[in-house]
Amino acid sequence: MKCWRRGGRQADYRRPLQPLVERFAMVEEFDRMVVKLLIDQLKAQTKGPRTPLAVNLSSHSIRSEGFDDWLVGLLQTNRDVAPYLIFEVPELTMRGPWQIAASGYPA
């Protein structure tokens, strides 16, 4: 999708946001913000059945100290919508060093 800005310059809003988030070392904050926004979206679904929503969590966030405690606490606080959240995590993040070595991936 191309949009026009003042001055006649084009802006392409399809560019991924992730490189900027990584550049400014805000990956964990970004993941936290996205999870909170999804919870707000689920709570706003008041008519009809709720639609499950998915989020890709970064390896950085998953490995970050305290992120798992924060996420579990948030889900416990929002038990009404927690079953409608789907989390995707990079496979290598969840594998132990012995599994990575056995699979042929560099450790």
pLDDT mean over 15-30: 70
Residue 1 has pLDDT above 50, yes or no: no
Rounded Cα gap, residues 69 and 13, in angstroms = 34
80-100 confidence digits (pLDDT tens): 999 999 998 877 665 555 454
Instruction: Give the pLDDT confidence score for residue 91 in this predicted structure.
Output: 73
pLDDT for 89: 84
Report pLDDT digits (tens) over 29-70. Answer: 989 999 999 999 999 998 889 999 999 888 888 888 899 899
Helix pair angle (67-77, 27-44), 10° resolution: 10
Q: 17 and 43 in contact (C-beta within 8 Å)?
A: no
